[in-house]
Amino acid sequence: MTTTPDFTGLKAEVVKAIHGVIQQFQPTEFHLEADGAGGARIRFGPVGLGDAYAQKETWVGAHIPPLVPYSDVYPVFVRGDLLRADEKALVVPMTQNHTFMGQPAVQVSLRSNRREATRETACMKLLKVIHWVINQ
């Protein structure tokens, strides 16, 4: 990782969620910003996208809310210049022209309805969204 995350001011469950993301993805880049309420915005990468996109990898960003695990990690963001390899438009719920942590971003608005807070971790949510993006 390029920097050691500063967990100052973050709630214990948020720190646990971030450790899970780091362990799962083992990113070479990891950025963290406290949200001032005990949660954090994170951006990490690279994450492989396969052949569906002109770019073979992306960063992934999300807000880990202070009420995690009882609140959803939503929305998730990826690189702003994302283009499909077949030159078709990105599909809804992917929307362009957003910014996340100072970076141009595509927002991926996949809410987890009827999620089980005690089972679905922040990491699981990110894996679901990445899987969805790759398979579009």
Residues 77-111 as b/e (b if ≥16 CB within 10 A, e otherwise) read bbbbebeeeeeeebeeebeeebebeeeebbbbebe
> What is the reported pTM?
0.93
Mean pLDDT split into 10-residue runs, the chain, 136 residues: 79 96 95 97 96 96 95 94 95 95 95 72 94 93
The SS3 assignment for 97 reads: strand
